């Protein structure tokens, strides 16, 4: 499970993440948390196409209140 940031701060809810992606996807970025590597880290707008990323928030290390999956197709994002 990867972490999330909206404008360099942790989101408070899944709803906030969904609204930020709809309004300004370049404001949302992912945090790689795996000690084994091979996770994308950076703005979601630069994620590889046809990628699914499982995320947890507000903080993947201390507080796991919500879970979501961000799916990037060509130019669209979906939240599951």
Query: CA 77, CA 62: separation in Å to the nearest integer?
Result: 27
Looking at residue 38, its pLDDT comes to 86
Q: Residue 71 sits in which domain range?
A: 3-79
Whole-number pLDDT of residue 74? 84
Predicted local confidence at residue 75, as pLDDT: 81
Digitized pLDDT (tens) for each residue of the chain, 80 residues in all: 999 999 999 999 999 999 999 999 999 999 999 988 889 999 999 999 999 999 999 999 999 999 999 999 988 898 98
Spatial CB neighbours of 55, under 8 Å, sequence gap ≥ 6: 1, 2, 3, 4, 17, 30, 67, 68, 69, 70
Report how many domains make up the chain.
1
């Amino acid at each position: 499970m990867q972490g999330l940031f909206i404008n360099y701060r942790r989101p408070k809810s899944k709803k906030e993440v969904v609204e930020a992606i709809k309004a300004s996807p370049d404001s949302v970025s992912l945090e790689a948390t795996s000690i084994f590597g091979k996770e994308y880290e950076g703005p979601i707008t630069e994620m590889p196409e046809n990628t699914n990323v499982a995320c947890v928030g507000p903080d993947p290390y201390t507080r796991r209140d919500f879970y979501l999956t961000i799916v990037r197709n060509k130019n669209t994002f979906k939240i599951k």
